[in-house]
Amino acid sequence: PCTLQYLNEQLIRYWLAQKDVNIHHLRIDSTVVHSHIAPPSDSQLLYDGIRVLSRLMAKAKDRTGVKLRFTDQRKKAKSLAYKIFNAKNADKQVLYPKLLRIAELVIEQSIRGIERITETVLSGQAWCEVVRHYQGLLKRVIDQATRRVINEEKVPSSEKLVSLFEPHTDIIVKGFRDVQYGHKINLSTEQSGYVTHCSIEQGNTSDKELFLPVLKAHQDTYNQLPFRTIADGGYASQNNVNTGRAMGVQAVGFQKDVGLTLKAMGLQKRTLKKLANFRAGIEGNISELKRSFGCSVARWKHWSGFQAFVWSSILSYNLNRHVRLNSS
């Protein structure tokens, strides 16, 4: 991902020198890129953990040369997970403890498996590390399921695990919309639609905290600041206005009524309207990035793969836009 990010930044730097890109006016917005996972549920996560650990133990002989003896709980766990998925709340209170007990049993079996392989061979370290990784994830799922279902606690989103295979995935709630699973990305585009900056966030960071890093990134990467910036109301704060203008941005605007008056932003009504019309273009840029370049769902595995997928989409988008705008 770092290489792809560097390539994109160098392209924008080159196009700035060629005057194909102009960052005098900058628009900023965020969106969510989904992880390539199924809709999460505690029962499915418990079954996934049981299934993966049981499969690792079943194939231990192929990986380490040591055959492990254990009771395979996969069929029983699959049946319980299916019943929980289709059960009413009262029935779930009876079924969940059974599935949790199986999960704890499988963890105990895998611990004994690690002990046996460690004592027997020296070449089983890689297998042991994979097993310990999934043990830790399954323990987290057991904890959150126990708290949420058995103890009826409200588990904070930041403490929830939504996938064993993409554990980096965040729970993102934007306004009153549906819950989304992936990562928030913060984008800026200039007047021709080129993506000049992107940050891939971990956690549900407030948009207010993402405004100034965009300006600092342009200053550090391109040694330039925009004359005018516009973002939607989620980014609005008096500190962002004051700091942006102190950095050298002539006009810092935020669309929608967010408690900041025109006087507080130092803008005339006509100027804000022009900037708001300009900001609308980033909605189309994001839509094209998602629809035409696949950036709605990151399909490469793990956190590094997620980042690389997003940057490859942005790089392809910018190259395609450059060819279209300069085809003559």
Dihedral sign (CA 213, 217, 218, 223): positive
Question: What are the backbone dihedrals phi and psi of residue 285, each rounded to the nearest 5 degrees, phi first?
Answer: -60, -45
User: What's the confidence (pLDDT) of residue 274?
Assistant: 93
User: What's the confidence (pLDDT) of residue 175?
Assistant: 65
pLDDT tens sequence across 191-212:
999 999 999 999 888 899 999 9
User: Residues 162-181: what's their mean pLDDT?
Assistant: 87
pLDDT at 3 over 80: yes
DSSP state of 295: T
Classified as helix, coil or strand, 311 is: helix
Higher per-residue confidence, 120 vs 68: 68
H or E element that contains 74:
helix 74-86
User: Residues 136-158: what's their mean pLDDT?
Assistant: 92
User: Residues 321-326: what's their mean pLDDT?
Assistant: 92
pLDDT at 116 over 80: yes
User: What's the confidence (pLDDT) of residue 197?
Assistant: 96
pLDDT band at 312 (very low <50, low <70, confident <90, very high): very high
pLDDT band at 327 (very low <50, low <70, confident <90, very high): confident
User: What's the confidence (pLDDT) of residue 121?
Assistant: 81
pLDDT tens sequence across 247-302:
999 999 998 767 788 888 888 889 989 999 999 999 999 999 999 999 999 999 99
Percent of the chain whose predicted confidence (pLDDT) is above 90: 77
User: What's the confidence (pLDDT) of residue 177?
Assistant: 64
2-37+167-325 CATH pick, 1.10.287.3510, 3.30.420.10, 3.30.70.2190, 3.40.50.720: 3.30.420.10
User: Residues 15-41: what's their mean pLDDT?
Assistant: 94
Distance CA 301, CA 95 (A): 32
User: What's the confidence (pLDDT) of residue 34?
Assistant: 96
User: What's the confidence (pLDDT) of residue 328?
Assistant: 65
Q: Where in the chain is the domain with CATH 3.30.420.10?
A: 2-37+167-325
What is the per-residue DSSP string for 219-275?
HHHHS---SEEEE-GGG--HHHHHHHHHHT-SEEEE-S-SS--HHHHT--HHHHHHH
